[in-house]
Homo-oligomer: A and B are copies of this chain.
């Protein structure tokens, strides 16, 4: 069965956390909104589902996944659904909920990353909220990156089965998501991220190990990996980074 992933074309955004899981597993999938309209794909096909024309249970927003008749929306929900199918989550129920809790912490973090450039809300342009974005980002760099990343560093340190992964003794989807979070932070705030690896050695080791996994390395080198840009979640605005 080929999975159908629906997300905005042109950005990594929230969809990237799902793409990384599908790529790592070598799962067959179509990135629908990046396809051609004449093939029944493209943004039109995505909007059709969002507007409820093709499915009664329309999602609120992308990303969402279609697996046969089943539609699953929200990154953490999609990953929880895919986890057992892609062998990227543990068998034990309690461990799966621990994993989901970690992923939802990434969800909250991503939401705060977005707020750094849109503190006054999603309806205004960045250009119309620059001073507020500076204030919020300064707080984010000083307090929130250390709090979130310090937490995940402690999770790795606390894993009795090995600090190479967050949960159990095998790679799960949260490890891929943390790789992406560190990639994104490094893109957006290169100065603030100087010295990150010294302060978070386990996270940095995890990041480097994920980057070297054959399927991930092949994906990152492919055209399927959209470069970071200033329409996504992680944006490089020099004025927001440390100077």
The answer to whether B58 touches A77 (Cβ under 8 A) is no
> What separation, in Å, do the CA atoms of A140 and B148 have in the docked complex?
27
The answer to whether A160 touches B70 (Cβ under 8 A) is no
Question: Given A57-B98, A70-B94, are A121 and B104 neighbors across the interface (CB < 8 Å)?
Answer: no
A residues 51-73 touching B (CB-CB < 8 Å): 52, 56-60, 64, 69-73
- As a 0/1 sequence over residues 85 to 103 of chain A, the CB contacts with chain B under 8 angstroms (1 = contact) are 0000000001001101100
> What separation, in Å, do the CA atoms of A119 and B139 have in the docked complex?
12
Whether A108 is near chain B, meaning CB under 8 Å from some CB there, is: yes
Q: Which residues of B contact A170 (CB under 8 A)?
A: none
Q: Which residues of B contact A71 (CB under 8 A)?
A: 98
Distance (whole angstroms) from the CB of A104 to the closest CB of chain B: 4
The majority secondary structure among interface residues of chain A is helix
Question: Given A105-B74, A108-B111, A120-B136, are A158 and B97 neighbors across the interface (CB < 8 Å)?
Answer: no
The answer to whether B52 touches A158 (Cβ under 8 A) is yes
Whether A188 is near chain B, meaning CB under 8 Å from some CB there, is: no
The answer to whether A101 touches B120 (Cβ under 8 A) is no
The answer to whether B108 touches A132 (Cβ under 8 A) is no
Interface size on A, as a range, is 35 or more
- As a 0/1 sequence over residues 140 to 155 of chain A, the CB contacts with chain B under 8 angstroms (1 = contact) are 1001100010010011
The answer to whether B74 touches A100 (Cβ under 8 A) is yes
Whether A193 is near chain B, meaning CB under 8 Å from some CB there, is: no
Q: Which residues of A contact B (CB under 8 A)?
A: 52, 56-60, 64, 69-74, 76-77, 80-81, 94, 97-98, 100-101, 104-105, 107-108, 111-112, 115, 119-121, 123-124, 132, 135-136, 139-140, 143-144, 148, 151, 154-155, 158-160
Q: Can you name 10 extra interface pairs (CB under 8 A) apart from A112-B121, A119-B119? A: A60-B105, A60-B148, A72-B101, A76-B104, A77-B97, A77-B101, A77-B104, A120-B132, A120-B136, A120-B139
* Sampled A-B contacts (15; CB under 8 Å): A56-B158, A59-B101, A60-B108, A74-B100, A74-B105, A77-B97, A77-B100, A108-B111, A112-B121, A119-B120, A119-B121, A120-B135, A121-B139, A121-B143, A121-B144
